Structure 1
Amino acid sequence: MSAEAPSATIWDRHRLGITVGSVVLIFLAALEALAVTTVMPLVAADLHGEALYAVAFAGTLATGVIGMVATGAWSDRAGPRAPLYTAVALFIAGLVISGAAPDMHLLILGRLVQGLGAGGQTVALYVVVARVYPGYLHGRIFAAFAAAWVVPSMIGPFLAGAVAEYLHWRWTFLGVAVLTVLAFVLVAVRLRDADLGPHPEASDDSSPGGRIWLRVLLAVVVAIAAVTVGFAADAAPSTGWPLALAAVAVIAVAIRPLLPVGSLRAAPGLPSVVLMRGLVAGAFFAAEAYVPKMLMERFDFGPTIAGFALTASALAWSGGSALQGRYGDRWGSRRMAAASLIVLLAVMAGMTALIVCQVLPWAVMVLWGFAGGAMGMLYPRLTVLTLAYSTPANEGFNSSALSISDSSGSAVTIALAGLLFVSLPIAGSGFPVVFLLAAAVLLVSAIPGTRLGDGLAERTASRGGLSATAPPD
């Protein structure tokens, strides 16, 4: 391996197909996620499914958790080839079902299938990287994956809006499905001869790691409950609200074993990091799901222009992430979290005022750009803290918990936003209550935000025999 290191790259002839195909698969998944947010107002109106608008987002995130957990276990036991093929097939099938759906219920079914595939596809590709690329190339391939997420943020919303406006919203699903097939062929051809068998240290069901099937079952319960919250919006309030509250209670019970001990009570350190990630993700993405809808329905923008709000947010997110990378250690985690929360709360207050007064529609795009910048500062900081609190023995569990909290928090908050949108309008519109919900969730996230600590400092302290149970002053 050392002889190969000086000249080997991720673009070598025998890795080129895998690199290009994998990067394109990541690119298309990111593009689709942004595209759906842009065109979903048109989809819901065309299919007469306004009450189920939020489920189209929440369901995909919820089933994505199942895909992540199941694919990770399957890849450990049988290698990543079959899990990757299955995940991509599910992703494509979900896109086709959604693109051809004659009504909102079938579209949501497609989105659920798509979520299973999207969650599993990412995990399987990461395992492929671990098996196919030597360690010194991992940084380069993951940098390519990161770029595959950044580029769609610049062009995805505008492109999706243009496709929906000048062709039809169905092509935002069907077009990506066709391109995914082509990208997958590149990967599959090159993986035929690769050694992708089960890991020699993979555990069986009788070992501690064999509890994976319990984790899959719990992920399924969380997903079903999250979707139930979304469907409650389609029921009468006397039925919908008790159903939604019961589903949230089920989620609180089922998700506990999937997260670090003490997460739901904001215990200091890692549990608060994981909890805050889920709360902040839920607040931001629940609000973002309604930003293009608000611009189209209340301010009469077309989908192409409405997509610029998401582009502004994504670009600002990149800038905030770079700022965090440069100054995060100097400012400290709690100070960074506090600054981000203050900006996000100000944005939610501003969005509420703009929609109630129905003034300054272009200010919506500016404000949402600030929201993206705040998320860019906070999101990577929480990831850094998670890794800092982790050891080689629990890095996998902790990273998985962060993703599960992220997706589950987003799914539940988006579903609750959908229920509130149709049942508690303010000033003749459901939009203000969505942003007020986001603000309330952000305020709750301030509780774990004060207990994040500094993972690097605490690990150093614990190695010196000091207590590492509470964050430093």
Structure 2
Amino acid sequence: MAADPAPGRPEVTEGLFSRKYAAATSIFAAVMFLTGLAALAVVPTLPTAARALDGVSLYPLVAGCFVAASLLGGVLGGHWADRAGAHRPLAAGMVLAVVTLLVSGASTSIWQLAAGRFLDGLAAGMVAVAINTAIGQTYPGHVRPRALALMSTCWIIPSLVGPPLAGLVAEWWTWRAVFYGLAALTLVPALVVVALLRSSSWSATPTPSGETASRPALLVATAVSLGAALGQYGVSGWDPRHLLFTVGGLALLVVFAPRLLPPGTWRAVRGLPATVLLCGLGSGVFFTLEAFVPLLLVTERGVPPVGIGLAFTGAALAWAASSWVQGHLLNHWPRHRLVVTGALVLAGAVAVAIVGTVPAMSAFVAASAMVVAAVGMGLFAPSLTVLSLSHSPAGRQGYASSAMQTNQNLGQISVLGAASGVFNAFLSIGWGEPAGYGAAFGLLLVPCAVAVLYAVRVRAPE
């Protein structure tokens, strides 16, 4: 590990650091870029793939598998990195990412696609945590913030260009080519990462204390991911078998999910618990819109994949613009009021989506719901992040950030599962897909209302 800069000679140490770690930083940035591209580019093609594989009813399972597995992958990657160093989970995650893209691209059934997405989420969670851990284990302290900031910016371009490019490939060729192309792009960096991290200079000393501390969290995360998967499958149908899976999944979530969250989260206790709860609710609404609106556009409006990709790009731009506005032009507003405003905009997006289910309406109406929702999240999410840190005791900001990320994933899984159950219930009684979409979207007004009602409980301390 490089030594800290010598007093009075920072530029010399900085130069030595740059030469020694430039290759690793470039590889890590390429890995994060491709991880973001793989995570975001395939999303617009999933509705097309689900329809081609005759698995529209199981589409929410495909969409939710990635989120459920990324939660488990993050905990698994952190546990492995603490026990044996970050090089092993990072190399394993990269190899698994290539394999899972090939599995998804070769899907002959919706179940194979769901399995591929689950393994892809597992790989993405492992890679993200392993890279952050590798930077923490091997980079000098004064450079770590810049390195971590660079890793975050590597997701910006994929969010803008990945969805429309993937849509073009799916429209001009086939949705399978998106997965195969991403696998080919990821293969070379994966091999380089494996070769680079075999070097002993990038291997960290195992930390037995970290291993002991993280094992319970690993078991809890496994139970939560399993519960989420069982629940997502259970709500895909209405019969005794599906009901049994739903009950089993809910039981696992009820028992184990609270162990990953601050006490009182589900009761919206004032302060950090309420902040964490609202984070999950808002993320769940947005993620469900991102899952169901593209499915509506494909199955009911016949929108090509490139159109779906452009909707995702528009949402990414809207989120970025809204986030900039709240951080600059509205910075003097109390944060809990920005949370209320964001939740109301999310409710407006839900209303637009409901109107978009009317067969006479243009596809543009439904697609615009994603952009409006992104505006709301640009106000909602950063404000809650700031509030979570203000509610955190000194030295516990990491715990607050982890809780926010965990409940964001849980909220996405839970709200999507509830909306999927309503959607499939309407299909099972023969009311048709437009009514099912409308009912699923209508359900999203409930978490929006809860967020508005409890926003006062997240007010920053005086």
Q: Same fold (TM over 0.5)?
A: yes
Find the aligned partners of 1:165 and 1:341 in 2 and give their Cα distance.
35
Find the aligned partners of 1:24 and 1:318 in 2 and give their Cα distance.
22
Find the aligned partners of 1:246 and 1:443 in 2 and give their Cα distance.
28
C-alpha contact 1:71 1:120 (8 A) present in aligned 2: yes
1:210-236 superposed Cα distances (whole Å, 9 cap, x missing partner): 342222111111111111122124433
C-alpha contact 1:66 1:116 (8 A) present in aligned 2: yes
Q: Cα gap change, 1:447/1:120 in structure 2, threshold over 3 Å: closer, same or farther?
A: farther
2:261 paired residue number: 259
SS of the equivalent of 1:255 reads: helix
What amino acid is the match of 1:156? G
Find the aligned partners of 1:26 and 1:82 in 2 and give their Cα distance.
17
Q: Which moved more, 1:321-330 or 1:282-291?
A: 321-330
Q: Does 1:6 align with 2:11?
A: yes
What amino acid is the match of 2:5? S
**Pick aligned residue for 1:87 from 84, 87, 93:** 93
Find the aligned partners of 2:15 and 2:425 in 1 and give their Cα distance.
55
**Pick aligned residue for 1:354 from 347, 353, 356:** 356
Q: How far is 1:392 from its partner? A: 5.8
C-alpha contact 1:129 1:138 (8 A) present in aligned 2: yes
Find the aligned partners of 1:449 and 1:113 in 2 and give their Cα distance.
36
Q: Cα gap change, 1:11/1:155 in structure 2, threshold over 3 Å: closer, same or farther?
A: farther
C-alpha contact 2:32 2:155 (8 A) present in aligned 1: yes
What amino acid is the match of 1:196? S
**Pick aligned residue for 1:373 from 363, 372, 375:** 375
Find the aligned partners of 1:16 and 1:81 in 2 and give their Cα distance.
17
Find the aligned partners of 2:84 and 2:387 in 1 and give their Cα distance.
32
Q: How far is 1:375 from its partner? A: 0.8
Q: Cα gap change, 1:102/1:86 in structure 2, threshold over 3 Å: closer, same or farther?
A: same
Q: Cα gap change, 1:440/1:281 in structure 2, threshold over 3 Å: closer, same or farther?
A: same
Q: Cα gap change, 1:394/1:46 in structure 2, threshold over 3 Å: closer, same or farther?
A: same
1:157 paired residue number: 163
Q: How far is 1:329 from its partner? A: 4.3
Find the aligned partners of 2:356 and 2:237 in 1 and give their Cα distance.
30
Q: How far is 1:238 from its partner? A: 5.0
Specify every segment of 5 or more residues in structure 2 that has no aligned partner in the other structure, as ranges.
none
Specify every segment of 5 or more residues in structure 1 that has no aligned partner in the other structure, as ranges.
459-471
1:334-392 superposed Cα distances (whole Å, 9 cap, x missing partner): 11100101111011011101212531322333332121121122212222222333356
In the alignment of these two chains, the number of paired residues is: 451
Find the aligned partners of 2:445 and 2:348 in 1 and give their Cα distance.
9
Q: How far is 1:282 from its partner? A: 0.9
**Pick aligned residue for 2:139 from 133, 143, 149:** 133
Q: Which moved more, 1:429-438 or 1:283-292?
A: 429-438
Find the aligned partners of 1:440 and 1:172 in 2 and give their Cα distance.
36
**Pick aligned residue for 2:104 from 98, 102, 118:** 98
Find the aligned partners of 1:415 and 1:11 in 2 and give their Cα distance.
48
Report 1:234-273 matches (<5 A).
Answer: 234-241=236-243, 243-273=245-275
Q: How far is 1:199 from its partner? A: 6.3
Q: How far is 1:259 from its partner? A: 0.7
Q: How far is 1:71 from its partner? A: 1.5
Find the aligned partners of 1:118 and 1:299 in 2 and give their Cα distance.
32
C-alpha contact 2:316 2:374 (8 A) present in aligned 1: yes
User: What's the TM-score once normalised by structure 2's chain length?
Assistant: 0.90
Find the aligned partners of 1:131 and 1:147 in 2 and give their Cα distance.
21
Report 1:18-417 matches (<5 A).
Answer: 18-191=24-197, 192-198=199-205, 203=209, 210-241=212-243, 243-327=245-329, 329-391=331-393, 393-417=395-419
1:40-85 superposed Cα distances (whole Å, 9 cap, x missing partner): 1111111111121011111111111111112112222322111212
1:467 paired residue number: none
Find the aligned partners of 1:294 and 1:251 in 2 and give their Cα distance.
29
What amino acid is the match of 2:340? A
1:193-214 superposed Cα distances (whole Å, 9 cap, x missing partner): 42431366x6156xxxx34222
Q: Which moved more, 1:439-448 or 1:167-176?
A: 439-448
Alignment RMSD (CA, Å): 2.4
SS of the equivalent of 2:457 reads: coil
C-alpha contact 2:230 2:248 (8 A) present in aligned 1: no
Q: Cα gap change, 1:448/1:217 in structure 2, threshold over 3 Å: closer, same or farther?
A: farther
Q: How far is 1:327 from its partner? A: 4.5
Find the aligned partners of 1:183 and 1:385 in 2 and give their Cα distance.
38
Structure 1 runs of 4+ aligned residues shifted over 6 Å read none
